[in-house]
């Protein structure tokens, strides 16, 4: 049997806009993935610890507080430090276009904004997975 893709849906930052994160969690689960949702207000440290413990293939970060330029690069830096280089990291929320290049530079594979279709997200994950499952 094929191993399921494991996804950590995580909410860094202090905001409480979890409607998008919960929708993504449920929709990815419906698409056949194993989804772990962290809940609100996770620090970069706690997200990376959860990724390590849950042995995930993908981290999907949802942030709408505006602190993405501070917190998202902290997640990728910590991942590298912990040797989790083969985890695919993606982000979504309210992230202005002009911030996207710097985030990609910092190791976020893709940034999804409002209006994203679930099918596109599923395809992106399947096409860009770094680990073989």
Partner 1 sequence: MSKKKELKRIKDAEDEWEKTVVPQWVGTTPERKERFTTVSNIDIKRLYSPSDIKDLDYLNDLGFPGDFPFTRGIHATMYRGRLWTMRQFSGFGTAKETNARFKYLIREGETGLSIAFDYPTIMGYDSDDPLSRGEVGVCGVAVSSLRDMETLFDGINLGKVSTSMTINGPAAMLLAKYIAVGDKQGVPRELLSGTTQNDMLKEFFAQKLSIFPPKPSLRLVIDIIEYCTKHLPRWNPVSISGYHIREAGANAVQELAFTIADGITYVESMMERGLAVDDFAPRMSFFFAAHNNLPEEIAKFRAARRIWARLMRDRFGAKEKRSMWMRMHVQTSGCTLTAQQPINNIIRTTLQTLAAVLGGTQSLHTNSFDEALALPSEEAVRVALRTQQIIAHESGVAETVDLLAGSYCIEALTDEMEEKALQYIDKIDAIGGVIPGIEEGFFQKEIADSSYKYQKEIERKERIIVGTNEYAVEEDWLPFKRLKIRPEVEREQLANLSGLKRRRDNAKAKATLDALHKAADSDENVMPTIIEAVKAYATLGEICNVLREVFGKYEELIVI
Binding region for partner 1 (CB under 8 A): 13-16, 18-19, 22-23, 25-26, 29, 35, 37, 39-41, 43, 65-71, 94, 96, 113-115, 117-118
CB of 132 to partner 1, least distance (A): 28
Residue 6 has φ and ψ, to the nearest 5°, of -105, 125
In whole angstroms, how close is the CB of 121 to partner 1 at the nearest point? 11
Write phi, then psi, for 125 (nearest 5 degrees).
-60, -45
Q: Between residues 100 and 131, which has the closer beta carbon with respect to partner 1?
A: 100
Closest CA to 11 of 1, 24, 29, 2: 24
Question: Is 35:77 a contact under the CB 8 Å cutoff?
Answer: no
Query: In terms of Cα–Cα distance, which of 50, 49, 65 is closest to 13?
Result: 65
Residue 41, sorted as left (phi over 0), alpha (psi -120 to 50) or beta, turns out to be left
- Block residue for tokens 């680990």: 131
Comparing CB distances to partner 1, the nearer of 55 and 96 is 96
Helix (H) or strand (E) holding 34: strand 34-37
Closer to partner 1 by CB, 46 or 131: give it: 46
Closer Cβ to partner 1, 16 or 133, answer by number: 16
Smallest separation, CB 37 to partner 1 (Å)? 6
Q: How far is the CB of 35 from partner 1 (least distance, A)?
A: 8
To the nearest whole angstrom, how small is the minimum distance from the Cβ of residue 86 to partner 1?
26
Considering the complex, state which of residue 73 and residue 131 has its C-beta at the smaller distance from partner 1: 73
């Amino acid at each position: 049997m094929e191993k399921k893709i494991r996804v950590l849906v995580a909410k860094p930052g202090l905001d409480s806009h979890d409607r998008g994160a919960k929708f993504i969690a449920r929709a990815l689960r419906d698409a056949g993935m194993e989804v772990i949702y962290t809940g609100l207000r996770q620090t970069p440290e706690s997200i990376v610890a959860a990724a390590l413990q849950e042995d995930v293939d993908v981290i999907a970060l949802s942030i709408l507080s505006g602190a993405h330029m501070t917190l998202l690069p902290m997640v990728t830096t910590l991942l590298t430090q912990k040797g989790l280089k083969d985890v695919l990291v993606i982000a979504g929320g309210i992230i202005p276009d002009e911030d996207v290049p710097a985030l990609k530079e910092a190791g976020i594979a893709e940034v999804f904004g409002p209006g994203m279709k679930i099918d596109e997200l599923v395809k992106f994950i399947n096409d860009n997975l770094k680990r073989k499952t």
